[in-house]
Amino acid sequence: MSPIAPKSKNSAIMQEMFPSVPCPSFDRRGWESTESMDPGPRSSWFPAVLQRASTTWNTQPSPTAPIIQTQFLNCVNGTANGYSAQDVPNSRYLEPTDANSELDLVCVGFGPASVAIAVALHDSMEAGKMAQAPKVLFLEKQPQFAWHAGMLLPGAKMQISFVKDLASLRDPRSNFTFLNYLHKNNRYAQLVPKILGDKTAPYRVVVVARDRAPPKFTATVNFLFNPEFIDTVYPKSSAYRAHLLEDARATNYGVVRLELIEHLFEVMYHQKRTLGPDEKKWPHRILAGRDIVAVEDSGDSLRLKVATLPIPGAQDGPLLGEEELDVDLVICATGYNRTAHVDMLKDAWHLLPTAMDAENGVLRKDRWLVETRKAENTSTKVMEVGRDYGVRFSPGVVAPGSGVWLQGCCEATHGLSDTLLSVLSTRSGEMVQSIFGASA
């Protein structure tokens, strides 16, 4: 199997960028390398909503320069809720192609972001906006499509509007909108034709709601997650963006449903009423403002040493000191490491521009500084992304039409929505436009 960079006129530069990245084969063990790739069409990688067979697809050759696109979502073992791929027809635009063919686009990972890319490509081809169908390969370490596998618990609710699916905000007429899915399966508005039998008659409608005002909160905050807000935040200075993200961080990373907060308060209140004010006697506690300073093995359990965090500017007040907790299970809900793409692109660091202002010692979160060594010389390079999510390489070192596009890594430049489902539909269209010049 050829390397990720096909043997085209641009392959020499792409091979220089990624000399150690051959096309891997995948199994349940995850990333494996290289020579056991089945030369035939791949199967069962596409989710059912797109097509049953193959993540490598096309209908005709394309001279378009090869592209590498990276996506980073959490990948865990699991399945896609048992949905059967046999229940839906294949797409006539996304057809299998020979595994040894030269590729136009390689997508690393096949989570919702890459599925949205596939949907945008499909819609562009269906609308006749692409002169040639590109050859695309999706690499995925899991045996089948899965999203938050193992975490779709009974009673779990989406905190995002159903309209923010893989296509609606980009093209509400797409076959891949959620409303279209409901309509095709006779699950959308079954009662509407009966209630509103005469479609031309005027109707007087009243909405009865409880005495609450969530729309004010929603209208105030949700603009941060609208696709058009990216055009507002991206041109701003690094300091402005950092301040905005810090100020609005709680809207994404600190959000807990009001019902859950109220339930926890009721539990705490009930414990205090029935068991007394000594929280150490409560079966459930919330220890805010604490830090784990040590973890020890204690037979069949773990012993945690927890210390109170100092409050900046506080001059008085009781300090609780350290407390020991014997526990059987520790769940680390500490978030994600969103810098994996930097190391993944290590072979291309030398193609990045030099960081001219690195000596100023200014720490910026909207770029990544890396060090390259050649002979005895060490230089600091900077990895930044453009508005189209493409990595900015030094001028002239990458062939026209080639590049690396990042998804889910650009929060510091494109806003809080970058890691969320909110912009998948519009971002996928923008990336297809940037890569292939076709409006999706």
| Same domain (yes/no): 12, 61 | yes
Distance, CA of 294 to CA of 322 (rounded, Å) = 10
Do the domain assignments include residue 262? Answer: no
| pLDDT interval class at 171 (50, 70, 90) | very high
CATH number for the domain that contains residue 382: 3.50.50
Tokens 């609005």 — which residue? 248
| Same domain (yes/no): 101, 10 | yes
| Same domain (yes/no): 300, 401 | no
Most confident of 3-12, 30-39, 145-154: 145-154
Tokens 């510091």 — which residue? 412
End-to-end, the C-alpha distance of the chain in Å comes to: 31
Query: Which strand (E) or helix (H) includes residue 179?
Result: helix 178-184
| Same domain (yes/no): 39, 109 | yes
| Whether the predicted pLDDT of 94 surpasses 50 | yes
| Same domain (yes/no): 210, 198 | yes
Distance, CA of 115 to CA of 176 (rounded, Å) = 11
Do the domain assignments include residue 436? Answer: yes
Apex CA 109: angle with CA 132 and CA 381, to 5°? Answer: 95
| pLDDT interval class at 313 (50, 70, 90) | low
| Whether the predicted pLDDT of 89 surpasses 70 | no
Do the domain assignments include residue 26? Answer: yes
Q: Which is more confident, 129 or 5?
A: 129
| Same domain (yes/no): 60, 207 | yes
Do the domain assignments include residue 301? Answer: yes
DSSP 278-323: -GGG-SS---TTEEEEEEEEETTEEEEEEEEPPPTT---S----EE
| Same domain (yes/no): 181, 321 | no
Residues β-bridged to residue 322: 307
The answer to which of 72-81, 105-114, 295-304 has the lowest mean pLDDT is: 72-81
Q: Which is more confident, 65 or 418?
A: 418
Distance, CA of 439 to CA of 328 (rounded, Å) = 54
| Same domain (yes/no): 215, 316 | no
Distance, CA of 49 to CA of 115 (rounded, Å) = 10
Do the domain assignments include residue 272? Answer: no
Helices first, then strands: H and E counts in the chain: 12, 11
Q: What 3-state DSSP class applies to 368?
A: strand
| Same domain (yes/no): 300, 392 | no
Number of domains in the chain: 2
CB 356 within 8 A of CB 379: no
| Same domain (yes/no): 316, 388 | no
CB 304 within 8 A of CB 276: no
| Same domain (yes/no): 90, 215 | yes
Instruction: Give the burial class of 151: count Cβ atoms within 10 A of its Cβ; 0-12 exposed, 13-18 middle, 19 or more buried.
Output: exposed
Provide the percentage of residues in the chain whose pLDDT is more than 70. Answer: 67
Give the residue from 275, 310, 335 where a domain finishes: 335
Q: What per-residue confidence (pLDDT) applies to 411?
A: 92
Q: What is the mean pLDDT of the chain?
A: 72
**Domain interval for residue 46:** 1-234+337-440
| Same domain (yes/no): 11, 52 | yes
Provide the percentage of residues in the chain whose pLDDT is more than 90. Answer: 24
Distance, CA of 227 to CA of 235 (rounded, Å) = 14
Give the residue from 295, 311, 335 where a domain finishes: 335
> What is the value of pTM for the model shown?
0.61
Give the residue from 335, 350, 375 where a domain finishes: 335
Do the domain assignments include residue 266? Answer: no
Distance, CA of 129 to CA of 308 (rounded, Å) = 60
Q: Supply 17's token pair.
A: 């960028």
Q: Supply 427's token pair.
A: 């971002």
Do the domain assignments include residue 125? Answer: yes
Q: What per-residue confidence (pLDDT) applies to 385?
A: 94
Do the domain assignments include residue 191? Answer: yes
| Whether the predicted pLDDT of 308 surpasses 80 | yes
| Whether the predicted pLDDT of 352 surpasses 90 | yes
Q: Which is more confident, 423 or 222?
A: 423
